[in-house]
Amino acid sequence: MSDTKVVENETVVADVKEPITETDSVKTENTIPYSRFKEVNDKLKEYETKLAKRDSDEETHRKAELEKQGEYKQLLAEAKAEIDSLKPYKEKLDGYVADRRDVLVSKLPESKREKYTNAPLDILEEIVEDFTKASPRAGVSNQQASRFGGFESLTEWARKDPQGYKKFHRNNKGITLGYSS
C-alpha cells in the first residue's frame, strides 16, 4: 500500500508543475507590429492636418461671402425695425387673449378648468358654449310658494291637507272652496 501512496504523490506534483499562464498568451495576441502602428499613426496625422486646413479655408470663404453680401445687412436692419414697430400690437393681442382665456375658463366647471386652460381660444369658446347649453337651469316658478300650499291645485290641497287648507283660507278673508265645515 505504501507504493500506491508514492505514485499518487508524484502525479499530484506533476500536475502542479505544469500551470499554464494566460497573461503570456494575451500579450502575444494583442501585440501590433511597429510598422503597422507607424503607418496608421502617419495617416491619422495627415488627415488631421487636412481637416484643419479645410476648416480654416471654409472660415475665410464664409467671411468673404459676408463681405460681398453687404446689401443683406440693410434688409436685416429693415426687418428688425418692422419687428420692433409691431411689438406693441403683439403685446396688446397677447393681453387680450390672456384676458379672454381667463373669462372663458372661469365659466367652466372647476373640474374641467385645468384640462381646457391651454386650448386655443376658438375651441375654448365652443367648449364653454357647449357647457352652458348642456347644463340647463332648474325651472323657477314665479307663483307664490303658499298659493296652493305646495300642491298643484286648490282641490288637491283641500283633499290632501284639509287642516292647512282651512287655516290658510280663514286667514285670507274666509274663502273656503271644496268643502264646508
Please check whether residue 164 is in contact with residue 176, taking contact to mean a CB–CB distance below 8 angstroms: no
From the first residue on, what is the mean pLDDT of each consecutive set of 10 residues in the chain (181 residues)? 48 49 59 87 94 92 75 78 93 90 88 85 88 64 58 80 80 57 44
Q: Is 146 exposed, middle or buried (0-12, 13-18, 19+ CB in 10 A)?
A: exposed
| Residue 63, pLDDT score | 73
Query: Which residues are within 8 A (CB) of 109 and not within 5 positions of it... i.e. 6 or more apart?
Result: 131
Indicate the pTM of the whole model.
Answer: 0.35
- Looking up cell 475665410 gives 60
| Residue 53, pLDDT score | 95
- Where do the structural domains in the chain lie, given as residue ranges? 36-68, 83-132, 150-181
Here the cell at position 123 is 375651441
| Residue 111, pLDDT score | 86
How do residues 6-49 score in pLDDT, each as one tens digit?
444 454 444 455 555 555 555 566 788 888 888 998 999 999 99
